[in-house]
A and B are shown apart, each in its own frame.
Chain A
């Protein structure tokens, strides 16, 4: 298996633009997680899905952030409009129930 795939690996955008991050989980994994990593706050859980259904989105910072999982092999995290404070590395991870999480390589987002 190729592991968790994320795209793009790097994204530079201007404040106010829409940003869409993409994730393909490992086949057969029924849980998917979106994290944000910054120097100041460490690794924060934004939202997670089970069988494509959002279970806990309490970590989503505000309404500018939204996440979808239209099918078992694809998820998106969208920021609209983006702000400089959204600059971070965004990770997607997937897992089977009661097993460890496998992380993607991350998307480094820079908002200028």
Chain B
């Protein structure tokens, strides 16, 4: 079955880069997502990558996908205090139209 794993907590200093890692198990995943959840709010899609891509860059965000190892990472350059949130990795398999979420990584940015 599908399973998505990620570490629970990451602490970085403001201005440094953050790297949040994720592993997944479903080799038929077609999309892989990163969602952001700010305190007291729902999840919002941050970025996504197609499974046939290795990398995607969007301003301060870089997503790397290693399909062989089923490893996904999110790099946030020049991390700001406003980036403090919980980041969820998720995989999507089109057949069932379901998204499987990881447990979420809480990013703490220290001023």
Binding site for B on A (CB under 8 A): 4, 31, 41-43, 45, 48, 50, 55-56, 91, 93, 95, 97-98, 100-106
Contacts and interface: CB of A to CB of B under 8 A. Distances in A.
Contacts of B104: 42-43
Interface string B25-59: 00000010101000011111100100000000000
Given A91-B43, A100-B45, A105-B41, A50 B103 contact: no
By secondary structure, the A interface counts as strand
Interface residues of B, number: 21
Given A41-B103, A103-B44, A106-B42, 19 more contacts: A4-B42, A42-B103, A43-B88, A43-B103, A48-B97, A48-B98, A56-B96, A93-B42, A98-B94, A98-B97, A100-B31, A100-B45, A101-B45, A101-B99, A103-B42, A103-B43, A104-B42, A105-B40, A105-B42
Contacts, number: 48
A106 B40 CA distance: 8
